[in-house]
Amino acid sequence: MENLWACDVCDFKNYDGHKTCILCGTERDFTLYGKVPSKRTAAVEDGNKAATAGLSPTNFVLMNDSTPRTIKKNRNFAKLRLNNLNIRQKGARRRHDWVRNVDEQSGNIVWGRNRDILDHKVLKRIVVKDSLPPLADDGDFDLPMLRDSVSSVSSVGSIASVGYVSKMVMTPRHPDGRMSFETAEGQTAFQTVNPTVFSSAELKDVSQLSFQQKHAWFVQYTSTMEVPWEYGHMLLEIDRANLLHNSCEQLLWATHDQLHQSLRIKFLNEPGVDAGGLEREWFTLMTEEIFDERTGLFGACMDNAYMIRATSSEASEDHLMYFQAIGRFIGRGLFEGMLLDAHLALPLYKHILGTPITFSDLEFIDVELYNNLKWLKQNKGVESLCLDFSVNVAQYDKEPLTIDLCPNGRHIAVTDDNKDEYIYLRFKWIMMTSISPQLASLIKGIYSVIPLEMLSVFDHQELELLMCGIPDVNVDDWKAHTTYIGNECDPQVIEWFWEVVTGFSTEQRARLLQFTTGSARVPVQGFKTLTMNDGRICLFAIQGIRKEECLYPRAHTCFNRLDLPMYSSKKDLETALTMVIKMEVTGFTIE
């Protein structure tokens, strides 16, 4: 196999030809630890000038002395870098928080917390590079303290919080299955539907391979599931005017064998034989409708990812059937290698795989609620906030609905004594309780095409990569839905800008998008539906500014606006854009 290199942020193994990590977008030569900014590059100019401590290794110097002062400096710089990881890097880094271990008593493979192996590995590098002295009795340097301080920022909330796994449970009352939410520690990590095909030991071995090897294993087994063409194929006859309902209805009618047959699409009253092109078009149109806010089944959350709507029943009384059909649609995409042009919220990938979910995962759905609940946990006097054990759920054209988090919850005040229970119930409500029926239907649909055991060898970030591929930014669509502000915009500089963006690699475009809008992902329906944080449409904008005002491009992510200095040459513009997207890799921006 081609040589692979490991990303220092998420430990993903990339092909040698990739200059950036395809999982989290971090540059190949970027390191989290062992280097500290030199005095020359750490200076921060005031006003509109940039912090010039860029992320290229040439801008850092290695401290080789072995004093506690150096250790502290390295530790503090590591904490700074970890705290400034963007949302994509955080999600990828957390994939190692939990591991599968063999239970000594039962012999079963169960979940256990990892205690952040990545930071232990990096800590060893710091020890070697700095010739760390033995622990001192006076407390000037304490290795466990260093380890704990590094771990605490690498996965905020994960180490201290309990993990939970979602499981499909069959009961007489729920013969089709219902979702349960159970403590992760010690839970079985692999659920083998057919032990004669896959053993838990084999699945564990495969799960420890590189993504490239896992993918090859996955493709090998999905190909054996495919029904040969001569035994039939599945034809979907679709009315464009009723595409979602029509498609979901036929997907639900499909038998187990049909779900694994070759798929052909025919649009009603249209000529054309499907040789793959119509299927790709159908897949794109279905994705747009499924995740369209007006459909009412999914809602956009952090980083343009999508979470199940708790109020999806308002969209249709048959919403659970829609979710099951959508699960089959996603399963077909995995089965055929068709990439989904939309990203699910991180906790949904974990639900699909049955991997542990922790409180810190709330950040990927509602960062404001996540920060508020963290504040609640860390501070006293919460009685003054007048909270109770209930949530208000917004409804379309109706008054908000009050839901009790526990019996009679709306009449129970949140206090310092019971706030931990309140935080847990709010977390559980968002992650599980409010979407449990929809989640059960979605997962049931996916498993009807791809068994859980075949998916379980991937972690949640690898599953996203399997479903969505490497992020791609359509420059023509971006350009077509861009507005220009101010009298300073020079048409020649604007032309250079788009020429430079067109010449960028896929990863560079994604990082430029991250820098300018706060997200490396494009909405499902393209740049025409780019929004602000409050959900209102806000097209990408370029405002021309004088170089005297700001030497480098400056981003306003709340408004999707880029302040672009009017450079005198295309080369200067390209150099500046390349510099700011390198800074963005670890959260540093030019402003």
Tens-level pLDDT at each residue, the chain (591 residues): 568 899 988 999 988 877 888 888 888 888 876 544 444 444 333 333 333 233 333 333 333 444 566 666 666 666 667 777 888 888 998 898 898 888 888 888 889 888 655 444 444 444 444 433 343 333 333 333 333 433 333 443 433 468 899 888 777 887 777 788 888 888 888 776 556 578 888 899 999 999 989 998 998 999 899 998 888 889 999 999 999 999 999 999 999 999 999 898 999 888 766 555 678 789 889 999 999 999 999 999 888 899 999 999 998 999 999 999 999 999 999 998 888 889 999 999 999 999 999 999 999 999 999 999 999 999 999 999 999 999 998 887 788 889 999 999 999 999 999 999 999 999 999 999 999 999 999 999 999 999 999 999 999 999 998 998 876 788 988 999 999 998 888 999 999 999 999 999 888 898 898 888 877 767 756 788 787 654 578 899 999 999 888 889 998 877 889 999 999 999 999 999 998 887 644 333 344
**Backbone dihedral region for residue 239 (phi beyond 0: left; psi -120 to 50: alpha; all else: beta):** beta
Query: What does the alpha-carbon distance between residue 524 and residue 288 come to, in Å, rounded to a whole number?
Result: 6
Query: What does the alpha-carbon distance between residue 50 and residue 580 come to, in Å, rounded to a whole number?
Result: 10
Contact 132, 71 (CB under 8 A): yes
SS (H, E, C) 346-390: HHHHHHHHCCCECHHHHHHCCHHHHHHHHHHHHCCCHHHHCCECE
Instruction: State whether 504 and 446 are in the same domain.
Output: no
* Tokens describing residue 502: 């067109």
164: helix, coil or strand?
strand
Residues in the chain: 591
Instruction: State whether 454 and 308 are in the same domain.
Output: yes
Query: What does the alpha-carbon distance between residue 91 and residue 12 come to, in Å, rounded to a whole number?
Result: 12
Contact 416, 383 (CB under 8 A): yes
199: in domain = no
Query: What does the alpha-carbon distance between residue 59 and residue 44 come to, in Å, rounded to a whole number?
Result: 14
502: in domain = yes
* Tokens describing residue 451: 């068994």
Question: Which residues neighbour 200 within 8 Å (Cβ) at sequence distance 6 or greater?
Answer: 108, 109, 189, 190, 192
563: in domain = yes
Return the pLDDT at 19: 80
CATH number for 368: 3.30.2160.10
Model confidence over 344-372: pLDDT tens digits?
999 999 999 999 999 999 999 999 999 99
Question: Which residues neighbour 67 within 8 Å (Cβ) at sequence distance 6 or greater?
Answer: none
Instruction: State whether 512 and 400 are in the same domain.
Output: no
Instruction: State whether 319 and 382 are in the same domain.
Output: no
Q: Which of 59, 92, 126 is the last residue of a domain?
A: 126
Q: Which of 468, 490, 524 is the last residue of a domain?
A: 468
* Tokens describing residue 209: 């391979």
Return the pLDDT at 419: 95
Which one, of 71, 76, 87, lies nearest residue 156 by Cα?
87
Which burial class, exposed, middle or buried, applies to 539 when counting CB atoms under 10 A from its CB (0-12, 13-18, 19+)? middle
Contact 475, 498 (CB under 8 A): yes
Residue 386 structural domain: 362-431
Return the pLDDT at 506: 83
* Tokens describing residue 293: 């806010």
Return the pLDDT at 529: 78
Instruction: State whether 288 and 342 are in the same domain.
Output: yes
Contact 267, 238 (CB under 8 A): yes
171: in domain = no
The total domain count for the chain is 4
CA 550 to chain centre: 33
Return the pLDDT at 82: 72
515: in domain = yes
Return the pLDDT at 77: 64
Which one, of 561, 461, 585, 563, lies nearest residue 511 by Cα?
585
Instruction: State whether 223 and 236 are in the same domain.
Output: yes
Query: What does the alpha-carbon distance between residue 456 and residue 206 come to, in Å, rounded to a whole number?
Result: 10
Which burial class, exposed, middle or buried, applies to 181 when counting CB atoms under 10 A from its CB (0-12, 13-18, 19+)? middle
**Nearest 5 degrees, angle CA 461-CA 194-CA 456?**
5
Contact 501, 478 (CB under 8 A): yes
293: in domain = yes
Contact 184, 162 (CB under 8 A): yes
Cβ-based neighbour number of residue 334 at 10 Å: 20
210: helix, coil or strand?
coil
Contact 323, 441 (CB under 8 A): yes
Query: What does the alpha-carbon distance between residue 213 and residue 521 come to, in Å, rounded to a whole number?
Result: 26
Instruction: State whether 290 and 324 are in the same domain.
Output: yes
Q: What string of DSSP letters covers 519-584?
A: -SS--TT-GGG-B-TTS-B--EEEEEE-TTT-SS-EEEGGGTEEEEE--SSHHHHHHHHHHHHHHH
Residue the block writes with tokens 């009050």 = 402
Instruction: State whether 22 and 110 are in the same domain.
Output: yes
Instruction: State whether 344 and 484 are in the same domain.
Output: no
136: in domain = no
Residue the block writes with tokens 């990303």 = 7
Instruction: State whether 507 and 523 are in the same domain.
Output: yes
238: in domain = yes
Catalytic site residues? 558
Residue 360's identity, in one-letter code, is S
What is the β-pairing status of strands 109-113 and 98-102?
A: antiparallel
Q: Which of 102, 126, 150 is the last residue of a domain?
A: 126
Contact 218, 210 (CB under 8 A): no
CATH number for 490: 3.30.2410.10
**Nearest 5 degrees, angle CA 501-CA 338-CA 96?**
80
C-alpha to C-alpha distances, 87 to 90, 143, 406, 434, 568, nearest whole angstrom: 5, 29, 32, 24, 35
**Nearest 5 degrees, angle CA 588-CA 461-CA 465?**
100
Query: What does the alpha-carbon distance between residue 250 and residue 247 come to, in Å, rounded to a whole number?
Result: 5
Contact 46, 109 (CB under 8 A): no
Question: Which residues neighbour 207 within 8 Å (Cβ) at sequence distance 6 or greater?
Answer: 100, 214, 456, 457, 458
* Tokens describing residue 509: 């475009």
Neighbouring C-alpha atoms within 13 Å toward the C-beta of 366: 15
Model confidence over 222-236: pLDDT tens digits?
989 999 888 888 999
Which one, of 27, 2, 137, lies nearest residue 89 by Cα?
27
Query: What does the alpha-carbon distance between residue 576 and residue 567 come to, in Å, rounded to a whole number?
Result: 9
Instruction: State whether 277 and 393 are in the same domain.
Output: no
Instruction: State whether 307 and 452 are in the same domain.
Output: yes
* Tokens describing residue 437: 């029926």
Return the pLDDT at 541: 95
Contact 483, 554 (CB under 8 A): no
